[in-house]
Amino acid sequence: MKIQDAKYVMSNSDYRKCPSPDIPEYAFIGRSNVGKSSLINMLTGKKSLAKTSQQPGKTQLINHFIINGSWYLVDLPGYGYAKVSKVERDKWEKMIHDYLFQRTSLVCTFVLVDIRHSALATDLDFMQKLGEEGVPFHIIFTKADKLKAYQITTAVEAYKKKLEEIWEEVPPMFVTSAEKNEGSEPILKTIETYNASFQKSE
């Protein structure tokens, strides 16, 4: 799939105010500072579609972008560390939870993980919740440019092993580097396949 057009549509704190759920959408989420905005900008080929920041917790709402006029890319707030109050964090958590588990047009959630870290409890707990609620998800490893090729292989294998302790079936995984503009093609191909299925089931 080639992305010809990517436009910001709207931001909301309530999934019920999001755009009409009549086309497929894909959520992108990860721990704060995982490189989500950079990945979204790489996928869409737009350098400043999603706002990047050195400050964790920059994304604070459910952000919808329409891609090629036919599907939504949804940028969700990060979970884990962010310099905000507990009240604010709890509000984000509820907003994310409601969106992920109530949004009818959400086809798949892409969970971003920094490839330099071994499996973190925060990520595993989040994936566990998705699994329990029957929300399909894939894993995207980010920042692969920070490691050598053999280290990437080792890191992915170690992550798989950890997931095999918990899951009968390990979700699909993608390795990316926004810095080197690598890894977008398999993700977009996966989205393209899902889009075709979504249209057939309408």
What CATH number is associated with residue 45?
Answer: 3.40.50.300
Band (pLDDT 50/70/90 cuts) for residue 113 is very high
Question: Which residue range is the domain that position 170 belongs to?
Answer: 6-201
User: Would you call 39 helix, strand, or coil by DSSP?
Assistant: helix
- Is residue 1 a part of any domain in this protein? no
User: Would you call 125 helix, strand, or coil by DSSP?
Assistant: helix
pLDDT at 2 > cutoff 50:
yes
- Is residue 177 a part of any domain in this protein? yes
- Is residue 172 a part of any domain in this protein? yes
- Is residue 67 a part of any domain in this protein? yes
| Per-residue pLDDT, 54 | 47
Rounded to an integer, the average pLDDT of 121-143 is: 95
Residue 68 tokens, joined: 């090629």
Pairing of strands 62-67, 6-12: antiparallel
- Is residue 50 a part of any domain in this protein? yes
- Is residue 34 a part of any domain in this protein? yes
Task: Give the position of tokens 């707990």.
Answer: 125
| Per-residue pLDDT, 202 | 62
Better pLDDT: 53 or 188: 188
DSSP state of 31: B
Better pLDDT: 199 or 58: 199
Q: Are 26 and 71 in contact (CB under 8 A)?
A: yes
Q: pLDDT tens-digit profile of 146-192?
A: 999 999 999 999 999 999 998 999 999 999 999 999 999 999 999 99
Which value, to the nearest 10 degrees, does the dihedral of the CA atoms of residues 136, 28, 173, 133 take? -20
Rounded to 5°, the CA angle 187-107-40 comes to 40
User: Would you call 99 helix, strand, or coil by DSSP?
Assistant: helix
Overall domain count for the chain: 1
Share of the chain above pLDDT 70, in %: 92
- Is residue 103 a part of any domain in this protein? yes
Rounded to an integer, the average pLDDT of 82-95 is: 79
pLDDT at 16 > cutoff 60:
yes
Cα separations (Å) of 83 from 1, 33, 51, 60, 144?
37, 12, 18, 12, 26
| Per-residue pLDDT, 91 | 84
Q: Are 79 and 93 in contact (CB under 8 A)?
A: yes
